[in-house]
Amino acid sequence: PNAKAGQNLRYATWDPPQHEWIKFGVDRWIKSIGKVTEGRVNVRKLAKGLGAPPAYHDFIKKGAIDVAHIIPAYTPGRLELHKVAEFPFLAASAKARTVAYWRVYEKHFKKVNEAKGMKLLNVGVHGGGLIHNTKRPITKMSDLKGMKLRVSGDNVAGMAKGMGATPIFASILKVHNMLSKGVADGVFLTFEGVKNFKLGKLVKYTTVPPGGLYATVFQMYMNQKVWDGISDKDQKLIESVSGEYGAQFLGAAWELADKNGIKHMKEMGIKITPMPAPFVAKAKAIWEPLQAIWMAKAKEKGVDGEAALAMMKAEIAKVEAGQ
């Protein structure tokens, strides 16, 4: 009794429905599928998620859900290539990162078929990650000494360690509790995160590294069998509102989220300061060896990492210039 491919597809996520990325990004995509295929393909969003976020990779691959997004960082060891869009000091703009990443994917990663059994439809990258804290303004690296900072991935954990802070890994939903209890002094997070996870009353100081200290990639996949069951005509139509086109508005949704986040932070009186140049230079030095690790992994997968990174930077510049 499969919901026959090409008719009604099911989408599910653990993300809250009111988040900009869902409300103005994913929901818009879902609506556009029905519209562009004139109702031949419809995506239905389930009221609730199916399980733990890391489980979604297998949910899609094995067909528990037809289409959904995953966060590759939640299942370390499975996917590597996406990390090029998560590098520090690349772009503050979510839209620039998202669109550039999709272009890099098309050119360099698509042929490798890293996630077998799944069809990549869309990507999303959130805006550049910042350092928020409840204690003091961070203007030089030594200010971070001994601070307990919540991190979300291994690269940013490596950065935190290198800068003298103590990384704590925890679900984003726990951050409010951790900050209010002093279990953590700060958090690596976006502008939007402060608003969406209700941290505005807790965070006092925010340091903004140029181009962000990290980012997190979201990838929306469809189960391959389900995809193959859709007619060629409808596949083309779906692709016409996904990929590059999707990246434009999915990135814009993240961008809007950040805009709302900045507004909220200003209202809350949070002190937002750019990361001073000497600090940036030191942080970049810490990043170098971590970047080399990725280059090696990309090579293992048969990808020219240097070329991909160069293209990423070039495309970001193009998007920021309005192309």
Partner 1 sequence: MIDALIIFSVLLILLFLRLPVGFAMASVGTLGFYYYTSWQGTLAMIGQIAFYTPMSAEFAVIPLFVLMGNFISRAGLADELYAAAYAWIGHKRGGLAMATILSCGGFSAVCGSSVATAATMAKVAMPQMRKFNYQDSLATGAIAAGGTFGILIPPSVVLVIYGIMTSTDIGELFMAGVVPGIIGIISYVIVIAIITHFKRDIGPPGERASWLSRFRALRNVWGVLLLFIIVIGGIYVGFFTPSEAAGVGACAAFFFALGRGTLTWKTFFELLSDSVQTTAMLFFILMGALIFSNCINETGMPETLLEWVKGFNAHPIAVVFAIMLVYIILGAVLDSMAMLLLTIPLFFDPVVNGLNLDPVWFGIIVVVVTEISLITPPVGMNIFVINTVLPDVNTGTIFRGVTPFWIMDIIRLIILVFFPAITLFLPRMMG
Partner 2 sequence: MNDYTTLARLREYFSRALIFFASLILFVLMWLTVIDVFFRDAFNISITGLFEVTEVLMGILVFAGVPIITAKDGHVAVTLLDSFINPRLRLIQKFIVSIICALLLSLFAWVLWDAAETLSGYNEVTLFARIPLAPVCYFMAIMTALSIPIQLSMTFITDERLQELKSDEI
What are the residues binding partner 1 (CB under 8 A)?
A: 1-3, 10, 12, 46-48, 50-52, 54-55, 58-59, 61-65, 173-174, 176-178, 180-183
CB of 206 closer than 8 Å to CB of 273: yes
Structure tokens at 60: 């899609």
Q: Which of 125, 157, 194, 215 binds partner 2 (CB under 8 A)?
A: 157
Q: What are phi and psi of 207, to 5 degrees?
A: -105, 130
The burial class, CB within 10 Å (0-12 / 13-18 / 19+), for 267 is exposed
Query: What's the length of the chain?
Result: 323
Rounded to the nearest whole angstrom, what is the least distance from the CB of residue 183 to partner 2 in the complex?
Answer: 7
Which residue, 103, 54, 112, is CA-closest to 81?
A: 112
- Of 2 and 142, which CB lies nearer to partner 1 in the complex structure? 2
In whole angstroms, give the CA distance from residue 241 to residue 307.
Answer: 28
E strands present in the chain:
8-11, 42-45, 67-70, 118-125, 130-133, 148-151, 166-169, 186-189, 205-208, 217-223, 271-274
Which secondary structure element, helix H or strand E, spans residue 32, and what is its range?
A: helix 27-36
In whole angstroms, give the CA distance from residue 316 to residue 142.
Answer: 31
- Of 77 and 269, which CB lies nearer to partner 2 in the complex structure? 77
Contact region with partner 2 (CB under 8 A), list: 9-17, 159-167, 190-198, 296-304 = 159-167
* 78 interface partner picked from partner 1, partner 2, none, CB below 5 to 8 A per type: partner 2
Kindly calculate the radius of gyration of the chain based on its CA atoms and give it in whole angstroms: 20
- Of 98 and 223, which CB lies nearer to partner 1 in the complex structure? 223
Q: Which of 7, 142, 169, 278 binds partner 2 (CB under 8 A)?
A: 169
In whole angstroms, give the CA distance from residue 265 to residue 183.
Answer: 22
Rounded to the nearest whole angstrom, what is the least distance from the CB of residue 40 to partner 1 in the complex?
Answer: 20
Q: Which of 39, 76, 137, 302 binds partner 2 (CB under 8 A)?
A: 76
Rounded to the nearest whole angstrom, what is the least distance from the CB of residue 183 to partner 1 in the complex?
Answer: 6
Q: Which of 72, 88, 124, 153 binds partner 2 (CB under 8 A)?
A: 153
Q: Which of 124, 167, 261, 305 binds partner 2 (CB under 8 A)?
A: 167
Q: Is 182 helix (H, G, I), strand (E, B) or coil?
A: coil
**Residue 48 CB neighbour total at 10 angstroms:** 10
Number of residues that bind partner 2 (CB under 8 A): 18
What binding mask, one character per residue, do residues 23-52 give for partner 2 by CB under 8 A, x or -?
------------------------------
Contact region with partner 2 (CB under 8 A), list: 129-137, 150-158, 235-243, 290-298 = 150-158
Rounded to the nearest whole angstrom, what is the least distance from the CB of residue 201 to partner 2 in the complex?
Answer: 23
Q: Which of 15, 49, 112, 166 binds partner 2 (CB under 8 A)?
A: 166
* 302 interface partner picked from partner 2, partner 1, none, CB below 5 to 8 A per type: none
Pair type for strands 217-223 and 67-70: antiparallel
Q: Is 154 in the site for partner 2 (CB under 8 A)?
A: yes
* 1 interface partner picked from partner 2, partner 1, none, CB below 5 to 8 A per type: partner 1
CB of 298 closer than 8 Å to CB of 81: yes
